[in-house]
A and B are shown apart, each in its own frame.
Chain A
């Protein structure tokens, strides 16, 4: 609350007082009072008026500042009407009522949107579970009845499955509840699982797979890591070289286990590299479109989701790319406590 603004608001009070002083002066002078006496009365009047204005200003400012601070400290500021005291001024009470009403309608709106979002999320999850039945049926039909084109259908089914998984994890990553299940996981098994999920895509693209010996056991959620690896593999298949190679390796360093997935694809331009985890960021390679060199339009969701899931699971995610080839590195914290218990 600024002093000038307050004075302007009080202009009417000041004018009324000045008019009163003027009228009183005329009256007193007409009655033959001395000018000095009139001036003295003026002085006292002005002093009282100034003190009154000053005091009300200070008191109001202090009260309002306190309210302002309270609001600023509040996590959900729209709830201020809930905790602020009922003001004693008549006009402020009206504003208080208005705030209460605004808050109520706001809360109703938020509740409605939250409910809608929850229902939508549930519907998406249910839909994904339902669509998996026909995907499974198609997979089995293809596996049981081999034709020259069944391989291509199986590869497309792997794509469809990856997209549905993406939608599922997107829906799940929006929510704060922890729906992961951390336990001892064999990294090698997860890698083999992820390769199996993309078998036909990898075979179709003539990808050479190299896996270094890895004896690494980490504490994490297997499904999430498998999804992340699927995403990385799917990127490696999309952006691949003439004779594509995909190399998996794991090393232990500084209490962390680093799982690297390297390809020999076109790599990521240095300008794009800092932004690859941004939602919706597609980069130069991704934007080349369906007719472009890299086949399909990127959605900019895959790596963004990977980053989010990694953050939630406490896995470090880094991408390196120099000129040619990309290396994605997942770093898992080795749990000292668990190692200690195991001796």
Chain B
């Protein structure tokens, strides 16, 4: 089931772009349009998480947060352009779960959202991605094929994770490197090639050949 996220943000461009971003990352995103009845919209939509701007027309984020807290414990992410300590302190005091300042890094925002959702709604099941009978186990950092397993390093796991998530699509090298950087793995283009070669060797050892295909000048494809 898709997790529902409510966006409370008065800038129209940011609102729609956030919706696009969240929808693209597997969430159901809805934005508040009438800021005079934000709280009742939270009640009606029953989101799993709220992204809340502090400066809003007719009201402010702090007020809305404390109103939401009277009936719900859902994670609330404060997003603001004013990064004063008072704001941060107030947001924590009023029960906000995270405080992110604009202009935010989308990778960090998404990671924060994912972490908060995971904590608030533990699913209990381990995360496994499968594609063409190969299974990628995130928890144990292994890849499994026909009962045979191969251990993966941190870099290799993240690369495979990205490829599995975009399975069937061409993944440009640059985007893979971007993704690795977002995960605090600062590899460059050459190191990516080296890692891909190593992954192919490991896959060949468990009988998976031609699993990662190279698209010349475009990237890699599962």
Give me the interface of A with B, judged by CB distance under 8 Å. 125, 129-130, 132-133, 135-137, 139-141, 143-144, 146, 151, 157, 161, 179-181, 192-193, 195-197, 199, 203, 206, 208-211, 221, 223
Min Cβ gap A155→B in Å is: 12
Q: Is the CB of A195 within 8 A of B186?
A: yes
Q: Is the CB of B81 within 8 A of A223?
A: no
Confirm or deny: B184 has a beta carbon within 8 angstroms of a beta carbon on chain A.
Answer: yes
Checking B82, B89, B107 against A196 with a beta-carbon cut-off of 8 angstroms, the contacting residue is B107
Tell me which residues across on chain B come within 8 A of A208, comparing CB atoms: 186, 188
Q: Is the CB of B14 within 8 A of A132?
A: no
Q: Is the CB of B81 within 8 A of A132?
A: yes
- 14 A-B residue pairs with Cβ-Cβ distance under 8 Å, sorted by A, are A129-B81, A136-B14, A137-B11, A137-B14, A137-B17, A144-B24, A151-B174, A157-B103, A161-B103, A179-B85, A180-B85, A181-B88, A196-B105, A197-B105
Q: Is the CB of A139 within 8 A of B174?
A: no
- Is chain B's binding surface mostly helix, strand, loop or mixed? helix
Checking A133, A157, A196, A211 against B108 with a beta-carbon cut-off of 8 angstroms, the contacting residue is A196
Number of B residues near A (Cβ < 8 Å) is 32
Tell me which residues across on chain A come within 8 A of B105, comparing CB atoms: 196-197, 199
Q: Is the CB of B83 within 8 A of A223?
A: yes
Min Cβ gap B182→A in Å is: 7
Confirm or deny: B106 has a beta carbon within 8 angstroms of a beta carbon on chain A.
Answer: yes
Q: Is the CB of A143 within 8 A of B21?
A: yes
Checking B17, B88, B107, B177 against A140 with a beta-carbon cut-off of 8 angstroms, the contacting residue is B17
Give the docked Cα–Cα distance between A139 and B18 (Å).
11
Tell me which residues across on chain A come within 8 A of B88, comparing CB atoms: 181
Q: A144-B20, A221-B85 are in contact. List 10 more A-B contacts (CB 8 A).
A: A125-B82, A129-B81, A129-B82, A140-B13, A140-B17, A140-B21, A144-B17, A146-B175, A151-B174, A208-B188
Min Cβ gap B13→A in Å is: 4
Confirm or deny: B133 has a beta carbon within 8 angstroms of a beta carbon on chain A.
Answer: no
Tell me which residues across on chain A come within 8 A of B81, comparing CB atoms: 129-130, 132-133, 136
Checking A129, A130, A143, A197 against B106 with a beta-carbon cut-off of 8 angstroms, the contacting residue is A143
Contact of A139 with B178 at beta-carbon distance under 8 Å, contacts A132-B81, A144-B24, A181-B88 already known: no
Checking B13, B107, B175 against A137 with a beta-carbon cut-off of 8 angstroms, the contacting residue is B13
Checking B11, B107, B178 against A203 with a beta-carbon cut-off of 8 angstroms, the contacting residue is B178
Tell me which residues across on chain B come within 8 A of A151, comparing CB atoms: 174
Confirm or deny: B84 has a beta carbon within 8 angstroms of a beta carbon on chain A.
Answer: yes
Q: Is the CB of B186 within 8 A of A211?
A: yes
Q: Is the CB of A192 within 8 A of B184?
A: yes
Q: Is the CB of A203 within 8 A of B14?
A: no
Q: Which residue of A lies closest to B20 (CB)?
A: A144
Tell me which residues across on chain B come within 8 A of A157, comparing CB atoms: 103
Q: Is the CB of B186 within 8 A of A209?
A: yes
Q: Which residue of B lies closest to A157 (CB)?
A: B103
Give the docked Cα–Cα distance between A88 and B101 (Å).
64
Min Cβ gap B141→A in Å is: 19
Give the docked Cα–Cα distance between A105 and B140 (Å).
76
Q: Which residue of B lies closest to A161 (CB)?
A: B103
Min Cβ gap B156→A in Å is: 19
Min Cβ gap B20→A in Å is: 5
Give the docked Cα–Cα distance between A193 and B18 (Å).
21
Nearest 10 CB-CB pairings of A with B: A209-B186, A140-B17, A132-B81, A181-B85, A137-B13, A136-B103, A136-B102, A129-B81, A135-B103, A132-B102
Q: Is the CB of A179 within 8 A of B188?
A: no
Q: Is the CB of B106 within 8 A of A139?
A: yes
B78-121 Cβ-contact flags toward A at 8 Å (1 or 0): 00011111001100000000000111111110000000000000
Min Cβ gap B192→A in Å is: 12
Checking B14, B20, B83, B174 against A133 with a beta-carbon cut-off of 8 angstroms, the contacting residue is B14
Tell me which residues across on chain B come within 8 A of A141, comparing CB atoms: 13, 17
Contact of A140 with B102 at beta-carbon distance under 8 Å, contacts A129-B82, A133-B81, A151-B174 already known: no
Give the docked Cα–Cα distance between A161 and B104 (Å).
11
Give the docked Cα–Cα distance between A196 and B24 (Å).
21
Give the docked Cα–Cα distance between A132 and B9 (Å).
14
Q: Is the CB of A179 within 8 A of B84?
A: yes
Min Cβ gap B89→A in Å is: 7
Q: Which residue of B lies closest to A195 (CB)?
A: B186
Give the docked Cα–Cα distance between A109 and B200 (Å).
75
Give the docked Cα–Cα distance between A143 and B108 (Å).
13
Min Cβ gap B55→A in Å is: 8
Give the docked Cα–Cα distance between A197 and B103 (Å).
9
Confirm or deny: B181 has a beta carbon within 8 angstroms of a beta carbon on chain A.
Answer: yes
| Residues of B168-189 whose CB lies within 8 A of A | 174-175, 177-178, 181-182, 184, 186, 188
Min Cβ gap A126→B in Å is: 9
Q: Which residue of A lies closest to B188 (CB)?
A: A208
Contact of A203 with B85 at beta-carbon distance under 8 Å, contacts A132-B102, A140-B21 already known: no
Min Cβ gap A59→B in Å is: 58
